[in-house]
Amino acid sequence: MHAVLALETSCDESAAAVLSCGDDGRPEVLASRIASQVAEHARWGGVVPEIASRRHVEALPGLIEAVLEESGLAPRQLDAIAATVTPGLAGALMVASVTGRTLAALHQRPFLGIHHLEGHLASVRLADASPEPPYLVLLVSGGHTELIRVDVTGSMDRFGRSHDDAAGEAFDKVARLLGLGYPGGPAIQKAAEGGDSQRFRLPKGRISLPGGGFHPYDFSFSGLKTAMLRTVEALQKVEQPLPVCDLAASFEAVVADVLVERSLRCAQDHGIGELVMVGGVAANQRLRTLMQERGRHLGVSVSIAPLAYCTDNAAMIGAAALERLRNGACETPLTTGVAARCPLEDASRLYQGQPAF
């Protein structure tokens, strides 16, 4: 059996978790705690990096103490200590990274630096019945919208991505435009419940190919965001009260439709019968329902990360660390720093003996 302590502070959620796994490789969450900063950042309409870092410093020690006590494991009983080291807000990343490396040195445990997106990909393994690779992953969050094929060997190939705003970022910006507050995803979903999703015709952003035509799997949400702005401005000019529920529903519907349509097309075109959806936007109920309904119709099996593990959390970081241990990954050098940006394709560099950054 392997057991790990995992830490996550890449943005505005302070989190710690203890996980274990047996010979079957299935991760079990023994304890998981999250300290959310949403209420504080909501005052500013988005995450303030300096505030986030300070709150991580305040919250993380208590979270670690709580999960170790709840799990019944002492640091010496752990196989490794893991922490997110990239990508994210550099100052925020430093809190978990320095804490994790210090604990690893103090208790003479291996340290595993984890790529945040790899954590999201591993979150589906926390479901009661999780799929086995190969499968196609739609990773859709506040900072990323990507289509990634995960092979049986653990290798990852990206088939599609957003060229501008990520879907979650678009939700936040449109929610602010409509006066719905932060975070945008839950706010828009709530407002859309009473709205007419067909009232406003909004564009499905596409990416042109150099030789003509459009990329079949890539995404663009900046045009949709601009269309929402122009629609709101036109309504305000004629002094009409904003039909916020209809606007929210129309926006949510087109985002869900684009994500589902291109993801399933990619799966079919590449002969992949299993599609996995992870990330914060994967918590959106319209998107979850539409993906499952269309997947069944097209014969593509759809698995979605549990709601509790869609947004940032340490359990997904622990699941990724356990997978690395199971595949024989060496530890990450304690001299490794953090990086605000790092492509997922470079995640294996974290375990090659030399600091990746």
Structural domains present in the chain: 2-122+312-351 (3.30.420.40), 131-304 (3.30.420.40)
Q: Give the pLDDT confidence score for residue 35 in this predicted structure.
A: 97
With beta carbons less than 8 A apart as the criterion, state whether 116 and 87 touch: yes
With beta carbons less than 8 A apart as the criterion, state whether 272 and 136 touch: yes
Residue 295 in tokens: 């997947």
Q: What percent of the chain has pLDDT over 90?
A: 86
Q: What percent of the chain has pLDDT over 70?
A: 100
Q: What is the full DSSP assignment across 28-49?
A: EEEEEEEEE-HHHHHTTTS--H
Q: Give the pLDDT confidence score for residue 130 in this predicted structure.
A: 85
Q: Say yes or no to pLDDT of 343 above 80.
A: yes
Residue 88 in tokens: 């994210």
Q: Say yes or no to pLDDT of 77 above 90.
A: yes
- Name the pLDDT band for 1 (thresholds 50, 70, 90): confident
Q: What is the mean pLDDT of the chain?
A: 95
Closest CA to 215 of 147, 281, 149: 147
Torsion of CA 164, 167, 173, 179, to 10 degrees: 160
Average pLDDT over residues 26-35: 96
- Name the pLDDT band for 108 (thresholds 50, 70, 90): very high
Q: Give the pLDDT confidence score for residue 280 in this predicted structure.
A: 94
Q: Say yes or no to pLDDT of 23 above 90.
A: no
Q: Say yes or no to pLDDT of 4 above 80.
A: yes
For the four alpha carbons of 74, 76, 82 and 83, in that order, the dihedral sign comes to positive
If phi > 0 it is left, if psi is from -120 to 50 it is alpha, else beta; for residue 158 that is beta
Average pLDDT over residues 82-101: 98
Q: What are 208-249's pLDDT values in tens digits?
A: 988 889 999 999 999 999 999 999 999 999 877 899 999 999
Average pLDDT over residues 327-337: 90
Closest CA to 304 of 139, 106, 117: 139
CA–CA dist 313, 10 (Å, integer): 10
pTM of the model: 0.93
Q: Give the pLDDT confidence score for residue 327 in this predicted structure.
A: 84
Q: What are 253-263's pLDDT values in tens digits?
A: 999 999 999 99
- Name the pLDDT band for 33 (thresholds 50, 70, 90): very high
Q: Give the pLDDT confidence score for residue 240 in this predicted structure.
A: 77
Q: Give the pLDDT confidence score for residue 129 in this predicted structure.
A: 83
Q: What are 145-194's pLDDT values in tens digits?
A: 999 999 987 788 999 999 999 999 999 999 999 999 889 999 999 999 98
Phi, psi of 301 (to 5 degrees): -75, 130
Q: What are 291-330's pLDDT values in tens digits?
A: 999 999 999 999 999 999 999 999 999 999 999 998 887 7
Residue with tokens 């329902």: 289
- Name the pLDDT band for 92 (thresholds 50, 70, 90): very high
